[in-house]
Copies of this chain bind each other. A is one copy, B any other.
Amino acid sequence: MNRQILVVEDEAPIREMITFVLEQNGFNAIEAETIEQAQAKIKEPYPDLILLDWMLPGGTGVKLAKSLKQNEYTRSIPIIMLTARADEDDKVKGFDAGIDDYVTKPFSPKELIARIKAVIRRVAPTALEEAIEFHGIKLDPVAHRVSINDENLDLGPTEFRLLHFFLTHTERVYSREQLLDNVWGTNVYVEDRTVDVHIRRLRKAISGQGHEDFIQTVRGSGYRFSGKIKDRV
Contacts and interface: CB of A to CB of B under 8 A. Distances in A.
A44 B177 contact: no
Number of copies: 2
A224 B144 contact: yes
B142 A92 contact: no
Q: What is the predominant secondary structure among interface residues of chain A facing chain B?
A: mixed
Interface residues of A, number: 48
A144 B142 CA distance: 29
Nearest to A33: B95
Given A114-B187, A142-B173, A187-B114, A221 B122 contact: no
Interface of A: 12, 16, 33, 40-41, 43-44, 88, 91-92, 95, 108, 110-111, 113-114, 117, 121-123, 126, 142-145, 151-154, 156-157, 171-173, 177, 187, 189, 218-221, 224, 226, 228-229, 231-233
